Amino acid sequence: MKSPVKHFILALQFLTRLPTPQIKNFVPDDLAHSAPYFPLVGCVLGVLVAGAAYVGQLVDPWAGAFLGVLFWTALTGALHLDGLGDLADALGASHANPDRFHEVMKDPHMGAFGAISVLLQVMAKLIFLMLLCKTDYIWLLIPLIAAARLGPLVWTACLPVLKSRAPGEIGSGERFSWATSPVPILFWALSLVAFSLWLAPVLLSMVVIIAGWWLYLKIRLGGQTGDCLGAGIEICESAGLASCVMLLPLVSIVGASL
């Protein structure tokens, strides 16, 4: 199997629960080199989630939102929601004692902060997706979900890995930082900007959101972990949805005036 195809399939296996061909002669470095294909995997997810939301929207916007969020969560195996919950627990527990951050981050159990953050995230997606289902722009989910997966490439390239694991243990934040280079980041970033300027200016908000999460991690933590990357994807998706819903009327007004 040729390397680009192998790396794309590995990215698909890592980020989704979709059935894929079995990879023979797998080595850990192959997974590291799959990172540049994350946005492409996002396109696949976006098509499936948008399709589910469209089918449900034919009945009612709430049905469309429910089916969309259901597929969104099932197809990813709640991978990024888990990262969001872990990060929320660690931030909440370390508010008074920063030394507890790494301790709580490694705890597999979810606490109150994590449960509340996951609940709010799912609610945000459900509500803003329902509002998007009331428009003719459900297809925006495709580039939006893809753009959210550009985030990990940027964050791993621009932030050091927080050394919170045992010696010799490698987290996803460190693994993917090995193979992150400016070329795929530049390609996907320019593709996002070009597509936004051409068809959907509201998606330019994703550039700001991705940069905002990088700034937050830099100031608050000084680095990133795999959970920070997963949480960032969730934040980008919900904040991107909210931005699209709020900015679409404004774009329509400006377009009509021109």
Whole-number pLDDT of residue 96? 67
How crowded is residue 99: how many other Cβ atoms within 10 Å of its Cβ?
A: 7
Q: Would the pLDDT of 169 be above 60?
A: no
The model carries a pTM of 0.90
Q: Quick one: average pLDDT of 135-160?
A: 94
Cα separations (Å) of 114 from 69, 93, 118, 235?
19, 10, 6, 14
pLDDT for the residue 109: 82
Cα–Cα distance for residue pair 71/45, rounded to 1 Å: 9
Once rounded to an integer, what is the mean pLDDT over residues 28-38? 82
pLDDT of 181 > 80? The answer is no
Residues 6+ apart with CB under 8 A from 40: 8, 11, 146
Query: CA 75 to CA 70: how far, in whole Å?
Result: 8
Residue 220 to residue 227: CA distance in whole angstroms:
15
Mean pLDDT of the region 100-109: 78
Q: Distance between CA atoms of 167 and 164, rounded to whole angstroms?
A: 9
pLDDT of residue 8: 92
Query: Average pLDDT, whole number, for the chain?
Result: 87
Task: Say which DSSP state 137 is in.
Answer: -
Residue type, 9: I
Q: Which residues pair with 161 in a beta bridge?
A: 224
Q: What is the mean pLDDT of residues 43-66?
A: 97
Axis-axis angle for helices 226-257, 141-148 (nearest 10): 140
What does the alpha-carbon distance between residue 115 and residue 86 come to, in Å, rounded to a whole number?
Answer: 9
Phi/psi at 149 (5° precision): -90, 0
The count of C-alpha atoms lying within 13 angstroms of the C-alpha of 42, restricted to the half-sphere facing its C-beta, is 26
Mean pLDDT lowest for which of 10-19, 24-33, 129-138, 202-211?
24-33
Q: Give Cβ neighbours of residue 11 (< 8 Å, ≥ 6 apart).
A: 34, 35, 37, 38, 40, 41
Domain boundaries of the chain, sorted by first residue: 3-257
